[in-house]
Structure 1
Amino acid sequence: MRADLPPRRRPIEGAGLNILLLTSEFAPAMGGIGTYAREIAAAASRLGAKVTVVAPDYARQTRDDDRALPFEVARFRGGLHSMRDLPRKIMLARRGVRGDRYDVVHAADWPFFIPVALSRWRTSARVLMTVHGTEINEAQTPLKRIAIRSAGVFGPRTEVVANSRFTETLFRERFTVDPARISAINLGVSEFWFGAPRKRREIRLAYRLPEDRLVMITVARITRRKGLHLTLAALSQLPDNLRQRITWLVIGPDGEADYVDELRRAAGQAACDIRFLGPQPNEAIRDLYAASDFFCLTGLPDTTGRVEGFGLVYLEAGAAGLPSVATEVGGVPDAVLADETGILVPPSVESISLAIAELAADRGLRAILAAGASAHARALSWERCAATTYGLAYASKRATADRAIGTVA
């Protein structure tokens, strides 16, 4: 497990910070943490920082794709994290942080928390660790708590970055850490999602979506905690004349096989136009957003401890001008502002059905919430996220929003 880190160098005067970001999830693997690592590294680079991302290679040739990125990528042999990888990650972090080469060392996800914590004494750099939500609950087992305590993971030199107010609160409840070392910094939205290059009419023709159809779109892994079965049941409760006007597009990879089979069977028996499109590239998702009328994702609390730490997909849909129907779980209320960018409801079939009916039946309400969703997304750029996380200078080019967490004045 070897990372070919670039030659030792000191930060260049006036060129900004020198940042080492370690992540266990990165392209070509799909996932929220991988998106976070790529986007915050790219944004920091645009703001003048020198960034090196250490990431697994997934046993693939990634050199050409990595060269196209605005930062350096050092790959190590590995894939999705296993606890068997921990000793090798510890050696990787120790080798990477030695000396005064970096100003900031950032563990972007929990598999690098212990390795970075054990390497702190080798560097005078700021040490950052980002918590995303689920790993906070998963770290409550006796064995993991002992490991975290023994390694001094959240010790005096560690700064903790939470991706939402919910995640910050959850972390405070689970770990005793000086509040001054914990910050809630919302994620950002890439400029990619603001508008599609193709026209709505053209996209609808391509996907055989009649102009008089109301198109509701969901983008998520088809897994129980994402609550697609609640959305399906809610659609089934709509009045016939409204339900028959709606097409529901479901985009995303399959999750638990039994759940996917159950959902598809139920969808086949429903008197509604439901289309499972599977995983799609971002360009196709952006086009389908432009062809849709509103977004819907109705997650629910998960007994396994997995949580929705933020909900970046709501912001991406909002950037495309879509209001949302969403459930009040985890950090979603930071991504969907109630009655400003969408409709937030409890995770119940009745509440979701009423919200879908209200949004589907009222074009004016959709327009008002769409404007709010777009403005909220514009206030949350990745440059703002990177600047607040690393202390970089930043002059916003987007509209500001009072509720944007992690704002640089």
Structure 2
Amino acid sequence: MSQKRILILTYEFPPLLGGVGTYCVEIARAATELGHQVTVVAPAHDTDNAAFDAALPFAVERLPIAHYTRHSLRSLLTYVRRLLAADVGRYDIVHLADWPLIIAARFVALLRPLRFRVILHGTDALLLNQARLPRLVGAGRTLGLAEKVVANSRYTLTIARREHPAITDARAQVALLGVGRNWFAPAGDAAELRLRLGIAADRKLLLSVSRLDERKGHRHVLAALEHLAPEEKDQLAYVVVGKAGDPAHADALKAQASTIGLPVIFTGPLAEEDVRGLYAQAYLFLLLGEDRSDKIEGFGLVYLEAAAQSVPSIASPVGGVPEVVLDGKTGLLVDYRDPRAAGMAISRLLADQPERDRLGEAARAWAESLTWRRCAEQTFG
């Protein structure tokens, strides 16, 4: 690709953690490595980000906006409208990476022609058509004006086309996300990490990494583990990494975990190095997400992070997950509503380590093929 000047606009960006923020950092880094001149505009989130931003290989401009409220959204609209109206001509590609920016672009497009691209991550495809504010301002119509609508999976694109018929085939693009090279790196001291987190050295580690949200399906994993035989439970420890989205739900999970007959360790959020260390030690990665009408699992980066350390996944075939976890090739897909079947899948791989290793090797090869460079080429080409 010839060198382009690319502007990426996002609401979610470090220090605010989440999949959109990860996407923005990684695709901006990859586009820079491809030779493009990249600028990311993101809120400051009431934090001094100077050291973090200076370490990135692309430019970051911060807006004086904090965490999401109705007031911060109004401020975001004002700043972005001014930015786009004044500076959009400086860029070859304007890439809207988060739904508040799609709303902002709607207001700008009412006043002047605007060339831009959009990435849809999953739930945002629903939100733009169903949530009160986006529906009130007609934000979904913005997708019909985009020169390209990029979806992170075929599933997300199908939902987007259903909700927004103005998206034409000619302007639609699927670009599966990538996994950063950092997730392939060797892990640190396994014994020290286990000791620090209270994981017995002699137990096989089963792992989930995700925010503790109902739709992520931790309760279904716990129900599946309860169906294991006592001699299987004696081999295992289940480690759950992630922030509690809803404290009441987190408390319910801990109460459920106390009854299943094997150690369950809730670590809360961890540093990336520790998460990578847990992936490296994990025997299986488990996440049985739910099929919901209000939220979409458009992709699932954590499955690729686990795969980068040669760990196969047992997952449910919801949303875009079957495009990330290839059933029978890089993991197993089971119905989250059938805990006995999920338990049998776990038992199968506990009893057959060569099969588990075969899936893990294929998972790593699959993760190696899904680079952020490829994603950036498809998005900005």
Q: Match for 1:331: what amino acid?
A: G
Aligned counterpart in structure 2 of residue 376 of structure 1, from 316, 341, 366: 366
CA distance in 2, matches of 1:374, 1:124: 44
**1:8-407 alignment runs, 5 A limit:** 16-97=3-84, 98=87, 100-120=89-109, 126-141=115-130, 143-144=132-133, 146-147=135-136, 149=138, 152-176=141-165, 177-198=167-188, 200=190, 203-204=193-194, 209=199, 212-303=202-293, 305-348=294-337, 349-391=339-381
Higher helix share: 2
The runs of 4+ residues in structure 1 deviating greater than 6 Å are 121-125
Deviation at 1:266, TM superposition (A): 1.8
- Alpha-carbon distance in 1 for matches of 2:258, 2:88: 61
CA contact (8 A) 1:319 1:373 kept: yes
| TM-score, normalising length: structure 1 | 0.86
Mapped partners of 1:86, 1:198: distance in 2: 41
Deviations 1:13-49 (A, max 9, x none): x981111111000101110011011111111111111
1:215 deviation in Å?
Answer: 1.0
- Percent identity, aligned pairs only, is 37
For the residue of structure 1 that corresponds to 2:89, the secondary structure is coil
Q: CA deviation at 1:223?
A: 1.5
TM-score (normalizing by structure 2): 0.92
Instruction: Tell me how large the CA RMSD over aligned residues is.
Output: 2.2
User: Are 1:162 and 1:184, in contact at CA under 8 Å, matched by a contact in 2?
Assistant: yes
The alpha carbon displacement at 1:276 in A equals 1.0
CA change 1:105–1:271 in 2 (3 A) is same
Over 3 Å counting, the alpha-carbon distance change for 1:139 and 1:150 in structure 2 is: closer
Deviates more, 1:201-210 or 1:28-37: 201-210
Name structure 2 gaps, 5 residues minimum.
Answer: none
- SS class of match (2:277): helix
Local SS of the residue matching 2:118: strand
CA 1:142–1:74 in 2, change beyond 3 Å: closer, same or farther? closer
Distance 2:127 2:200 in 1: 46
Distance in 1, Cα, partners of 2:187 & 2:226: 34
What is the CA–CA distance in structure 1 between the aligned matches of 2:97 and 2:304, rounded to whole Å? Answer: 21
Q: How many residues align?
A: 377
Structure 2 residue identity aligned to 1:162:
A
Q: Which residue type is aligned with residue 117 of structure 2?
A: L
Change (3 A) 1:263 1:90: closer
Unaligned runs of 5+ in 1: 1-13, 392-409
Listed one character per residue, the Cα deviations across residues 260-287 of structure 1 (whole Å, up to 9, x for unaligned) are: 1111112123210111111101110001
8 Å contact kept, 1:319–1:378: yes
Q: 1:315 & 1:118 partners in 2: Cα distance?
A: 37
Structure 2 Cα separation of the partners of residues 124 and 387 of structure 1? 26
Tell me how far apart the structure 1 counterparts of residues 81 and 127 of structure 2 sit (CA, whole Å).
Answer: 25
Q: Sort the Cα spacing of 1:120 and 1:386 in 2 relative to 1 into closer, same or farther, 3 A.
A: farther
